[in-house]
Amino acid sequence: MGESVRDKSPQSGMAGTATSAVAHSLERTGDYLQSEGLSGIADDLTNVVRRNPIPALLAAIGVGFLIAQATSRRS
């Protein structure tokens, strides 16, 4: 997918730089997913939460709030 983005994007200027960075990130993400798999991702996420419990809790509360707002019906 990263290669496809890189091929269809401008090669110079601000847009070229931004799309090149996005393409590189997509390629790295794909490599990470292939090498680690779901169990590796779960282990990494667990380690992040253990190292940063307060920010993880605040992020979870924020995501929960956004989901509640998106799914609630307004009268």
Which of the 8 DSSP states describes residue 50?
A: H
pLDDT digits (tens, 9 = 90+) for 4-62: 776 676 676 777 778 888 888 888 888 888 888 888 889 999 999 999 999 999 999 99
Kindly report whether the global pTM for this prediction surpasses the value 0.75: no
Look at residue 1 in the predicted model and tell me its pLDDT. 65
Q: What amino acid occupies position 51? A: R
pLDDT of residue 49: 94
> 5 with 24: CB under 8 angstroms?
no
Whole-number Å distance between alpha carbons of 23 and 4: 8
Phi, psi angles (nearest 5°) of residue 74: -100, 135
Contacts of residue 20, Cβ cutoff 8 Å, sequence gap at least 6 = 6, 9
